[in-house]
Amino acid sequence: MQLEDRMEESRARPPRGLPQVKPMEAGPPVVSSRPESQVVFDLENVEVFYGTFRAVSRVNMKIFRNEITAFIGPSGCGKTTVLRSFNRMHDVTPGARVAGGLRYRGAEIYGPNVSATEVRRRIGMVFQKPNPFPKSIYDNVAFGPRMSGTNSKADLDVIVEKALRGAALWDEVKDRLKASALGMSGGQQQRLCIARTIAVGPEVVLMDEPCSALDPIATARIEELMRELKSRFTIVIVTHNMQQAARCSDRTAFFTTELDSKSDRRTGTLVEYDVTTKIFSNPGDERTENYITGRFG
Amino acid sequence: MELDLRGSKAYADRAFRWSAAAAAGLVLVVLGLIAITITGRSTPVFRQMGLQFFTTTRWSPADALFGALPFVWGTAFTALIALAIAVPISLGMALFMTQVAPPGIKRPMVYLMDLLAGVPSVVFGLWGVLVLSQLVGLGRSFMTAGIILAVMIIPIITSLSREVIETTPPGDKEGALALGCTRWEMIRAAVIPHSAGGLVGAIMLGLGRAMGETIAAALVIGSALGQITIRPFAPGNSMPAVIANEWGEADALHKSALIALAVTLFIITVVVNLIASTIVQRSMKKAQGL
Amino acid sequence: MQLAQQEQAAAPPDLRAKQSWRSVKSLIMTGLMIASVAAVALPLVAVVSAVLRRGLAVVAHDFPDFFIKEIPNIARRPGGGMGPAILGTLMVTGAATLIAVPLGVLGAVYLHEYGIKNHFSRLVRFMSTVMSGVPSIVMGLFIYIVWTLHFGYSAFGGSLALACLMLPVVIGSTEQMLKLVPHHLREASYALGSSKSRTILTVVLPAALPGIVSGSLLAVARAAGETAPLLFAVGAANEYNPHLFEEANTALSVQIFGNATSSFVAAQDRAWGAALTLVLVTFLVTLAARVFTARIARKR
């Protein structure tokens, strides 16, 4: 009897070993669901195929405006695959196909006649390895606006400064805007890539493990930057560092792999998606709990 | 008794090593011999003409007057025409194969290029003189020679350009696409800046090949003498062509003049090829070291 | 450019392609790229079809005697064949291969197995690149000076010239193949007590063999089509001459060159027939090289 009582007790208590979650410092309280007008991405049974192989199965979720949403999970679970489907990056992979309904503020991203270029103007992306162009800092940031037709130096100056300030890089580079971007440190390059992305004027910034190539100090600066950017953009970030997700995000989606009974290979699947504090303190699914407490992954 | 670990095979082993080294050294020997012998045999004409050999424009074996300038010009002019035609086509082809073509189309393209590269130059020359030059307006001229040479150097420029372009880091291309670039804008922003150096090298290698190509040029260039003209449809001449065409009936002095032309051609093509391979190698190394 | 943010409260965004100069420009550029593919295909098709059409007309008319008959000494005379030239090409190229391939393979063995980083090797590699850029006519003149002047015209002189052209190619491609042989094969052989030379002969070369054969075959295909060196070394005989070292000889490439400029249709016809033969020979050799390359791929 005593043993069973103790087991009852431990099940009621939150499992040990969960990372401490600091409450969000700013912004409105995050509720479980928000009105339709605040939905930025609406995924309905989204699946991603590489040829006949189903890499990601049946994702259903809504991503909300001006929040930071984190995708976490073990490697190969499809979190990056889902992220890249938001801005149609799979178009460049031969044989890749996205099925299901993926709507950006009501418009089907994979609808007929949709132009990937138009999608990407509204949904930007920052990559794992910083990839500035071999041009000057100024030209990197001005690249997007120039492409859209802004050519007057006065206009470009304003846009470049605003973007660099937004990326918390202005003070460091304002005296050497003409210097080559490749001469900067990794953390600076990544912030430059962020500046370059926001200079285009998107609504969403996708981030694919933006800090994994950076040292802890640079990482902390980027995380701080993310919190500032939240007020102007919607941010979706893939991270293999769940403490980062716990620190920075409003909502977290946990993905994992499942054995696909048909193909005998592992398919990525969305396990749980909820407000971050809930995921990390009282996850609903056992798999989430196992990942978070480090029992696997 | 001391333990002798040398073994009886030591001699055979060393002999093998030395013969291998000798085989490798043959390259140096042959190259050196080439340089020495052709320079040596060309001295008679330099004794006759001095350095004016390079500046005189008249070439008249009957008068023992030999001016190399028209042929040097002809070689350069034909090569320029060939490049003007071949470079845009080769670059377009290379970009198509690397950036546009779906995988199923790429392989037949590679075979296409290999096929083109495999046709012997004399067959191109035959086609040039019996088919191409019969076409309206062409005849045997700089232009016809330029076209044939262009066709012959396209495979080499394309395949080298492809190699260079394929070293573009995919992260750079993705970054450009993610900013909303069209395909061409992405190529301009990520592929070309990265490949520019290597592409120059590839083009120069094509140039070297065009200048040295003998037989096709000899058949279609027209074997005109003397004038330095910029009219592309005029019949012309080039160093390799005149050597091939006039050798049969040349006397000793004439022969030495032709050999002197060969020396000039040798030096020019070697220099161009060297610069070109250095550029290409350095660009490939840079791409891998990054 | 706060486009997206302006759209925020509005209806679903219009994601269709906008009519803009940018997308048109990209389309034009893609069109140009496709045009360049056509520009490459066009002359290839033109040349191959001309050779096939005109060559077949001549060869099929007299099949298979075309490959056996003598070359008429009087250019005007129709008929005849390219027998001597075929024999000549086979002899000259065959002898050149026998010279260039063993020497080239041996040289590459030194470069990769013995002296991979030393100054001598670097010099040889550098000079090999230089040598591969030597125009074939210069090579022909070289052989004229060192061989023909002393020994007269012969098929062997031509072989020497072709061997010089083939050598850098064989060295280069063999070295590539040797690089691909995994090092642990060599180590296993050394560990069993085998000497370096023995390891090379019994382990490394057999492992690299398909690639070496393939590379050499490609060099052979190129050499078979060379004309300029042969003009200075082999002469332009028309009779059968099965002797490698004596007397002038001929080859398909030389015949094509000579007959191309003839004003007699009969001679031109023979040139087309010879061209077809040469292209077929080159094609078969290249095909054989591909077979060996495929063998390597299959072994992986």
Considering only CB atoms, B183 lies closest to which of C30, C39, C40, namely C30
Q: How many CB atoms lie within 10 A of CB A193?
A: 28
Q: What is the pLDDT of residues C101-111, one digit of tens each?
A: 999 999 999 99
- Is the Cβ of C44 closer than 8 Å to some Cβ of chain A? no
Lowest mean pLDDT of A188-192, B126-130, C93-97, name the range. Answer: B126-130
pLDDT on residue B104:
86
CA atoms within 13 A on the CB side of B218: 27
10 Å CB burial of residue C270 (0-12, 13-18, 19+) is: buried
Query: What pLDDT score does A9 carry?
Result: 57
Backbone angles phi, psi at A64, to 5 degrees: -105, 155
Q: Which residue carries 């794992």 as its tokens?
A: A128
What the block records as the tokens of B19 is 């013969």
- pLDDT band of residue A144 (cuts 50, 70, 90) is very high
The correct CATH number of A47-292 out of 3.40.50.300, 1.10.357.10, 3.40.630.30, 3.40.30.10 is: 3.40.50.300
pLDDT at residue A8 is higher than 60: no
Task: Enumerate residues 6+ apart whose C-beta is below 8 A from B235.
Answer: B139, B140, B141, B142, B221, B222, B223, B224
The per-residue pLDDT for A169 is 92
| Interface A:B, Cβ pairs < 8 A | 56
Picking from C22, C26, C253, the nearest residue to B122 by CB comes out as: C253
Contact status of C19 with chain A (Cβ, < 8 Å):
no
What residues does A50 pair with on adjacent strands? A53, A96
The string of pLDDT tens digits covering residues C70-87 is 777 777 777 777 888 888
Measure C36 CA to nearest chain A CA, in Å: 23
pTM of the model: 0.83
Q: How far is B217 from C101, CA to CA, in rounded Å?
A: 29
The closest alpha carbon to A137, from A111, A105, A175, A109, belongs to A175
Here the tokens at position A183 are: 């001469």
Amino acid (1-letter code) at residue B177: L
Q: With cut-offs at 50, 70 and 90, classify the pLDDT of residue A297.
A: low
User: A111 and C15: CB-CB below 8 Å?
Assistant: yes
- Main-chain dihedrals φ then ψ at residue A49, nearest 5 degrees: -115, 140
Q: Indicate the length of chain B as a whole number.
A: 290
Asked if A123 contacts A102 with a C-beta cutoff of 8 angstroms, the reply is: no
Of the listed ranges A9-13, A154-158, B268-272, the one predicted with least confidence: A9-13
Residue A53 has pLDDT above 80, yes or no: yes
For the segment A93-130, what is each residue's pLDDT rounded down to a tens digit?
Answer: 888 999 999 999 989 999 888 999 999 999 999 999 99
Other CB atoms within 10 A of residue C171 CB: 32
Whether the CB-CB separation of C3 and A201 falls below 8 Å is answered with yes
Contact criterion met (CB < 8 Å) for A203 and C4? yes
Q: What is the mean pLDDT of residues C229-248?
A: 81
**Which helix (H) or strand (E) is B60 found in, with range?**
strand B59-60
Residues within 8 A of A (CB atoms), B 91-110 only:
102-103
Instruction: Name the residue with tokens 């370096």.
Output: C196
Q: What is the ipTM of this complex?
A: 0.85
In the block, tokens 């590839």 appear at B202
In a mutational test of the C interface, the residue from A39, A91, A105 whose CB has the highest number of chain C CBs within 10 Å is A105
pLDDT category at A2 given cuts 50, 70, 90 is low
Does the beta-carbon distance from A92 to B177 stay under 8 Å? Answer: yes
Is the CB of C14 less than 8 angstroms away from the CB of A106? no
d(Cα B101, Cα B115) in Å, to the nearest integer? Answer: 19
Which of A14-18, A74-78, A245-249 is predicted with the least confidence, judged by mean pLDDT?
Answer: A14-18
d(C-alpha B206, C-alpha B217), whole Å: 15
Residues B55-80 have a mean pLDDT of 85
From chain A, the residues in CB contact with B174 under 8 A are 89, 92, 125, 127, 131
Q: Tell me the pLDDT of chain B averaged across its residues.
A: 87
Nearest CB among A65, A114, A150 relative to C1 is that of A150
Express as a percent the part of chain A with pLDDT over 70. 88
- pLDDT tens digits, residue range B191-245? 998 898 889 999 998 999 898 888 888 888 877 776 677 788 888 888 888 888 8
Q: Decide which of B278 and A83 is more confident.
A: A83
Does the pLDDT value for residue C213 go beyond 70? yes
Query: In the 8-state DSSP scheme, what is residue B164?
Result: H
pLDDT per position as a tens digit, B14-58: 889 999 999 999 999 999 999 999 999 888 888 888 888 888 888
- Chain C nearest CA to B94, separation (Å): 9
Q: Return all residues near B269 (Cβ < 8 A) that are at least 6 apart.
A: B208, B211, B212, C133, C134, C135
Contact B26 C221 (CB under 8 A): no
The verdict on a CB contact (< 8 Å) between B178 and A124 is: yes
CB-CB neighbors (< 8 A) of A143 in chain B: 179, 189
Average of per-residue pLDDT values in chain A: 87
pLDDT at A11: 54
Distance CA C172, CA C128 (A): 8
The CA distance from B7 to C195, in Å, is: 10
Q: Do B212 and C135 touch (CB under 8 A)?
A: yes
C 218-257 → B contacts, CB under 8 A: 221, 224-228, 231-232, 253, 256-257
| CB-CB under 8 Å, C12 with A105 | yes
Q: Which residue has the tokens 């890539």?
A: A193
Residues in chain C with CB shorter than 8 Å from the CB of A146 are none
pLDDT at position A196 over 90: yes
| Range name among B112-126, B146-160, B222-236 with the lowest pLDDT average | B222-236
| Res. C274: pLDDT tops 50 | yes
Give residue-wise pLDDT tens across range B159-180: 989 989 998 999 999 999 999 9
For residue A295, pLDDT over 90 is answered with no
Burial of B102 (0-12, 13-18, 19+ CB in 10 A): exposed
- What rounded mean pLDDT belongs to chain C? 86
Which of C29, C200, C225 is opposite residue B121, by nearest beta carbon?
Answer: C225
For residue B108, give how far its alpha carbon lies from the nearest alpha carbon of chain A (Å).
18
Buried b (16+ CB within 10 A) or exposed e, A83-114: bbbbbbbbbeeeebbbebebbbbebebbeeeb
As a whole-number percent, the residues of chain B with pLDDT over 90 amount to 36
- Give residue C1's pLDDT band: very low, low, confident or very high (50, 70, 90): very low
Rounded CA separation A50/A66 (Å)? 32
The lowest-confidence range among A248-252, A288-292, B60-64 is: B60-64
Whether the per-residue pLDDT at A24 is higher than 70: the answer is no
CATH code matching the domain that covers B69-289, chosen among 3.30.70.141, 1.10.287.1080, 1.10.3720.10, 3.20.20.150: 1.10.3720.10
- Whether the CB-CB separation of A106 and A72 falls below 8 Å is answered with no
The CA-based angle B63-B67-B70, given to 5 degrees, is 125
Residue B3: both structure tokens together = 């333990």
Map chain C to HEC letters.
CCHHHHCCCCCCCCCECCCCHHHHHHHHHHHHHHHHHHHHHHHHHHHHHHHHHHHHHHHHHCCCHHHCCCCCCCCCCCCCCCHHHHHHHHHHHHHHHHHHHHHHHHHHHHHHHHCCCCHHHHHHHHHHHHHHCCCHHHHHHHHHHHHHHHHCCCHHHHHHHHHHHHHHHHHHHHHHHHHHCCHHHHHHHHHCCCCHHHHHHHHHHHHHHHHHHHHHHHHHHHHHCCCHHHHHHCCCCCCCCCCCCCCCCCCHHHHHHHHHCCCCHHHHHHHHHHHHHHHHHHHHHHHHHHHHHHHHHHHC
A148 touches chain C (CB under 8 A): yes
Contact between A232 and A166 (Cβ < 8 Å): yes
Nearest C-alpha of chain A: how many angstroms from C276? 40
- At A23 the pLDDT is 45
A22 confidence band (pLDDT: 50, 70, 90): very low
Q: Does A114 touch chain C (CB under 8 A)?
A: yes
- Measured CA to CA in angstroms, residue B281 lies from A70, B201, C175 at distances of 44, 9, 16
Interface test with A, best of B100, B106, B168, B177 (most A CBs within 10 A): B177
Q: Do C18 and A118 touch (CB under 8 A)?
A: yes
Is B176 in the A-facing interface, judged by CB distances under 8 Å?
yes
How confident is residue A31, by pLDDT bands cut at 50, 70 and 90? low
Any CB–CB contact under 8 A between C8 and chain A?
Answer: yes
Predicted confidence (pLDDT) at residue C38 exceeds the cutoff of 50: yes
Nearest to A87 among B172, B175, B178 (CB): B178
**Minimum CA–CA partner of A39 in chain C:** C8
Domain ranges of chain A: 47-292
The reply to whether residue C227 touches residue B214, judged by beta carbons under 8 angstroms, is yes
C69 within 8 A of C79, measured Cβ to Cβ: yes
**Among candidates C47, C103, C131 on the partner chain, residue whose Cβ is nearest the Cβ of B119:** C47
Q: Which two tokens stand for residue C65?
A: 């005697």
A262 vs B67, higher pLDDT: B67
Q: What is the mean pLDDT of residues C49-74?
A: 82
Contact A107 C12 (CB under 8 A): yes
B6, B131, B181, B214: best mutation site toward chain C, by most C Cβ within 10 Å?
B214
Helix (H) or strand (E) holding A267: strand A266-275
Cα-Cα-Cα-Cα dihedral sign, residues B235, B239, B244, B249: positive
Per-residue pLDDT band for A26 (boundaries 50, 70, 90) equals: very low
Please tell me the predicted confidence (pLDDT) of residue C8: 53
Residue A149 sits at the chain B interface (C-beta within 8 Å) = no
One-letter amino acid of C85: A
